[in-house]
Amino acid sequence: MKISINWLNDYIDLKNISVDEIVDKLTYAGLEVEEVDDQSKKFENIVVGYVNEVKKHPNADKLSLCKVNDGENEYSVVCGAPNVSAGQKVAFAKVGAVIPNGGMKLEKVKIRGEVSFGMICSERELGLGDNHEGIMVLDPSLKEGLSFAEAMEMNDTVLEIAITPNRADALSHIGIARELSALFDLQLKYPDVNLKESGKKSEELASVEIKNSNNCPRYIGKVVSNVEIKESPNWLKKRLKSIGLRPINNVVDVTNFVLYEVGQPLHAFDLDNLGGKKIIVRDAGKNTKFTTLDSKERNLQSNDLMICDTNKPVAIAGVMGGENSEVTSTTKNLLIESAYFNPSSIRKTSKNLGLSTDASYRFERGTDPKITKWAAIRAAQLIQTTAGGIIAKGEIDAYPKRITKKKVFLRYSRIEKILGYKINNSTVKKILTKLGFEIKSATKEKLTAMLPTYRHDIEREIDLIEEVARIYGYNKIPEVSKISVTLEEKVDHSALNDKVREFLNSLGFYEIITNSLLSEDIASRFGSAINLLNPQSKEMSHLRTSLIPGLLTSISNNIKVNEKDLQFFELGKVFEKVSAANINDFKDFTESEHLLLALTGNRIRNEWLEKDSPFDVYDLKGFVESFLAKILPGVIINLKSMNELESKFDNSFRIICENQNIGLGGNLKKEFCTLFDVDQDVYMIQVDLSVLKKINIPKKIFNELLKFPKVYRDVAFVLDVDITSDQVIHIIKEATTNLLHNIKLFDIFQSESLGKGKKSLAFQLEFFNSNRTLTEEEVEKDFRNAIKTVEKIFNAQLRGS
Amino acid sequence: MIDKIDKTRKSFDEDLSKIENLTSLEDLRIKFLGRKGLVSQLFESLKDISKEDKPKVGQALNQLKIHTQAKFDELKEKLEKGQKSSDEFVDLTLPGRKRVIGSKHILTQTLDEIKDIFRGLGFSVYEGPELESDYYNFEALNFAPDHPARDMQDTFFVTDKFLLRTHTSPVQIRLMKEKKPPLRAIMPGKVFRNEAISAKSYCLFHQVEGLYVDTDVTFAELKGTLVAFVKQFFGQDIKYRFRASFFPFTEPSAEMDIWWEPKGKQGRWMEILGCGMVDPNVLVNVGIDPEKYTGYAFGMGIERTAMRKYGIDDIRILFDNDKRFLTQF
């Protein structure tokens, strides 16, 4: 919200306080000043000048040569304006000034042979209007040398303050002034409102009936007759302009002025357009359409609160007035509305309509029910000064739900308990009093304060403690330098994920983070996707069901910038509906944590010592085996190839552990790659970390180092090509004793010379016994059994025999 | 005879000392150790030696043989080694066999630093769900229904009761409901805001929440803890300030700013975190007696912190996952 410092000075004397101090104190107290606009800055080096003499320029017909006095010196200035003449007071921009419109910096220049020390400005050059017919002629009573900003009263500083949603009371100049009165210990003064009331009573000229007193506890109507709608006087226009508002006419401007003065939104009705001269505050009822001031037709919900006359709605309560009763240039008689509405009712209506106004913004945060009357009187007073007219006696004050002040007690000991610091009792009382709290009683231990009706955010002792602390100053509360360490069990939910990251980093993988929101089309391909009620766009309308789309997008983007060799992984949540039913409970959806890792491109590219070599599925398997051995040490893991039709992978396999499926992988089917413009093979593993985390990791126990020699035997079989290495290994294990500890496949060979449809697999068998040295005979026995069985079962032949 | 043996030894040693390459060493071998070499010749003449002198001379001869052979072997090995190094030239300017070590995402790295500092201060690490209920995300945190405070966080709704969490604060509620004080934990995670994607904002970001509940937790301790944090994270000389603010779930509430002076730009205060004393309503909501226990909470955005630390000015680059970016950290 914009706050003018000049305007603040109407209520509090800030003359001796610098803008910087004001900005600091407000910011520290929770009213954050986001911007400071010193309006006089743009008029630097522009002063009131007195034109002493005007002569024709010797070398140019249309130019004049002037002598301008700035109160101290006289300067020669070349001027091109037809209206310049001796004796005028003008806006004189001296050398060094920056012309507000256009930003030209003035220097001493020669114009057609004559030196000019500055410029006499037009309204347009000063950024004050469109007039460029001639120079701006100032009030002759202004003293030369006075800064132009001061002369024009444009020396204001305007603050942009971010008001948090709890501080409805600070949404006005008086609200901010009250805060400053506490911060600087100054006196706050409300403007005097002495009315010249005459004629009939307001009640005789109009009436008010409240049908929904819950949503409208108070409604004040004040009548002003016989006004003249015209342009506002300068002082009023200037106030509104200073905070960025556009003046409209005297009556509308007054209502806006009072809104920004004290925070009470007002509305002025053309009383002659109010049917029955009556205001009825009621719910809209079914199928109500209403055209607001901005000429838009609005559809209202039946419980939206409306201001009506005897036959039609005339305003949406607290949000916006209607076209049918607005003040126009011919309006003569006014009804000023000053009401207090239920905040949540206004908020609902404003949300439903998607219409937020200065009025609704304040009503939904909570206005002051007690200020309504003062605001109505203040508006009447200002309308009379700007538009003339007769103020009817008194007000119509419909107040069916009286709002009373609440009491809250505050223990001094509690302040210390919360803050860890003792603030003097008298300081506490002073701060609260300055903020408008009325101290009812006070003992050594505690005080009782009456809460002002403008502080909807204060209800409890803790709220008072905050008030005291923030006005006292958070920075004055010391920082403890010692903290106690408590001995409760320490938990780390992120420990496993951190390990996953580190192991994968050491295998050469980079971590990525991708968007959790996907399009419906993409999300649904990978699971039963959950949609957002209010998505930003079609591309981000559903929660991700898989990490695959995000990773493929990243791969695709990298390929576009010629980064083709990639090892990426992501850890993240994926979401799925459990059934088609709507989500009403945590049971209706799953949120699981996935790990997805991917390889694509070349393992080696353009190296002098090795040939280019693309990643393949064995790289993937190798990475997975190394990774799982570290993340699940001592756990038996089975990578089981599978041929599932619905799988997203070719050459796919599942990661099985303790009979649980913890993940799957393979090379991603082409159709998915194509979907993301990826034209190279992508190998992926997807692990469900939620499942992996539940697997028991056996406690590590030291294994005695082997003291006896190992014995190795090599063997190669010629087999049918479709027999897998695992099948052979399995049979060798079955045919041997526990002396055989390892079987390593060390060669695969396929050639016509072996026979059609044949291949050779060569294995190295490792035998040992941890308690003794093996004998030749026992090894030989196992070895022969292995060979015999493999030959028999697979119809294999020993190679080379 | 003994003289002869001595002479041969001397001449061998002398010749040996002059040898510089394997060819001349081979000549030397032939001269002394060959089948017809000087040493063999001496052994030949042993048969002419008298019986009584034989053992003595024989012993001396044997020593000569051992000596010459050993010296010869030693030099041969030396020369062979030397020759190898000059024949096989190793160009160490050639690039080595590369082994890539990947890296954590810069946001994870930043979070790691934050976690390390708070772990050192005795904090545990808890996590919670991203798809949350209105109850945990708002209601239990003292956001009244229909209060404009809800507008502070643009929310993605899944239904009217479920939403993508807008902050990590719901994890506070889950933790306080699950365990009894004393509780001291940080709670990192992903959060979502329905904000248009631009250089300054993204539809999701990461936060770390902090919570400490015990019998004597004070605002002064909150300040001390956070000051310790910013000093460790940004450096001991960091300038900071606390100013009042508003969050429905803390009272009193504050924001902490640090003084930030990017290179070549004018310095200014920048908000880095929100904090405050846990609102008594929140404690009541989770069944903790606010008269007995007090607590503090804080929350900070990781993106903003990382961007500040590394001089990144467009948040979107964090989620582009461009390898040229990822490999920088």
The helix or strand, by DSSP H or E, that contains position B206, with its residue range, turns out to be: strand B204-214
What burial class does residue B126 get, using C-beta atoms within 10 Å of its C-beta: 0-12 exposed, 13-18 middle, 19+ buried?
Answer: buried
Closest CB from B129, B158, B228 relative to A532: B158
Tokens of A392: 């009817």
Q: What is the mean pLDDT of chain B?
A: 91
Question: In this predicted structure, what is the pLDDT of residue B256?
Answer: 96
Q: What ipTM was estimated for this complex?
A: 0.86
% residues pLDDT > 90 (chain A) = 79
Per mean pLDDT, which range of A48-52, A455-459, B14-18, B226-230 is the poorest? B14-18
Q: Which residue has the tokens 């991203």?
A: B130
B131 vs A558: CB contact, 8 Å cut-off? no
**For residue B84, pLDDT beyond 80:** no
Per-residue burial over A328-353, b = 16 or more CB atoms within 10 Å of its CB, e = otherwise: eeebebbbbbbbbbbbbbbbbbbeeb
HSE toward the beta carbon, residue A572, CA cutoff 13 A: 29
- Work out the angle between the directed axes of helices A412-419 and A461-472 (0-180°, nearest 10): 70
Q: Which residue has the tokens 């150790």?
A: B33
Domains along chain A with CATH numbers: 41-151 (2.40.50.140), 197-398 (3.50.40.10), 407-475 (3.30.56.10), 495-692 (3.30.930.10), 711-798 (3.30.70.380)
Contacts of A611 (CB under 8 A, 6+ apart): A604
**For residue A562, pLDDT beyond 60:** yes
Closest CB from A365, A482, A502 relative to B148: A365
Q: How far away is chain B from the Cα of A393, in angstroms, using its nearest Cα? A: 38
Nearest CA in chain B to A416: B218
Q: What is the pLDDT of residues A181-208, one digit of tens each?
A: 999 999 999 999 988 888 889 999 999 9
**For residue A461, pLDDT beyond 60:** yes
Third-level CATH fold of B106-326: BirA Bifunctional Protein; domain 2 (3.30.930)
Average pLDDT over residues A722-730: 92
Testing the interface with A: which of B92, B97, B123, B131 to mutate, by most A Cβ within 10 A? Answer: B131
**How far is the CA of A517 from the CAs of A541, A554, A574, B90, B192, in angstroms?**
6, 14, 10, 54, 10
A365 vs B279: CB contact, 8 Å cut-off? no
Closest CB from B98, B125, B321 relative to A512: B321
A575 vs B252: CB contact, 8 Å cut-off? no
Q: Which chain B residues are within 8 Å of A483, Cβ to Cβ? A: 121-122, 221, 224-225, 228
Tokens of A509: 């993988």
Question: In this predicted structure, what is the pLDDT of residue A645?
Answer: 65
**For residue B44, pLDDT beyond 60:** yes
What burial class does residue A498 get, using C-beta atoms within 10 Å of its C-beta: 0-12 exposed, 13-18 middle, 19+ buried?
Answer: middle
Q: What is the pLDDT of residues A769-799, one digit of tens each?
A: 999 999 999 999 999 999 999 999 999 988 8
Cite the beta strand spans of A589-739 per DSSP E. 589-600, 602-604, 613-614, 637-641, 649-657, 660-668, 682-688, 711-720
Residue A332 in contact with residue A302, Cβ under 8 Å?
no
The total number of residues shown for chain B amounts to 329
A459: helix, strand or coil: coil
Q: How far away is chain A from the Cα of B202, in angstroms, using its nearest Cα? A: 9
Q: How far apart, in whole angstroms, are the C-alpha atoms of residue A200 and residue A396?
A: 12
Chain A contact present for B223, CB below 8 A: yes
Among A14, A445, A401, A377, residue whose Cα is nearest residue A197 = A377
Pairing of strands A542-543, A566-577: unpaired
Tokens of A85: 């003449």
Q: Which chain A residues are within 8 Å of B250, Cβ to Cβ? A: none
Testing the interface with A: which of B219, B231, B241 to mutate, by most A Cβ within 10 A? Answer: B219
Cis peptide before A100 (omega within 30 of 0): no
Question: In this predicted structure, what is the pLDDT of residue A612?
Answer: 87
Alpha helices, H only, A648-688: 670-675
Q: How far apart, in whole angstroms, are the C-alpha atoms of residue A705 and residue A340?
A: 85
Q: What is the number of other CB atoms lying within 10 angstroms of the CB of residue A63?
A: 18
Tokens of A99: 């012309």
Q: What is the pLDDT of residues A685-713, one digit of tens each?
A: 999 999 999 999 999 899 889 999 999 99
A371: helix, strand or coil: coil
Chain A contact present for B120, CB below 8 A: no
Closest CB from B119, B183, B221 relative to A483: B221
Q: Which chain B residues are within 8 Å of A510, Cβ to Cβ? A: 102-103, 105, 323, 326-327
Residue A343 in contact with residue A305, Cβ under 8 Å?
no
| A-proximal residues of B, 168-207, CB under 8 Å | 182-185, 188, 190, 192, 194, 196-197, 203-204
A517 vs B151: CB contact, 8 Å cut-off? no
The total number of residues shown for chain A amounts to 801
A and B: number of Cβ contacts within 8 A: 251
Q: What is the pLDDT of residues A479-522, one digit of tens each?
A: 998 888 778 888 999 999 999 999 999 999 999 999 999 999 99
% residues pLDDT > 90 (chain B) = 59
Q: Where residue B71 falls among pLDDT bands split at 50, 70, 90?
A: confident
B102 vs A510: CB contact, 8 Å cut-off? yes
HSE toward the beta carbon, residue A740, CA cutoff 13 A: 24
Tokens of A3: 């706050």
**How far is the CA of A497 from the CAs of A493, A503, A798, in angstroms?**
8, 10, 48
Q: How far is CA A614 from the centre of its chain?
A: 44
Q: Which chain B residues are within 8 Å of A463, Cβ to Cβ? A: 251
Q: What is the pLDDT of residues A514-539, one digit of tens each?
A: 999 999 999 999 999 999 999 999 99
Among A623, A635, A625, A610, residue whose Cα is nearest residue A691 = A635
Q: How far apart, in whole angstroms, are the C-alpha atoms of residue A303 and residue A184?
A: 45
Residue extents of the structural domains in chain B: 2-87, 106-326
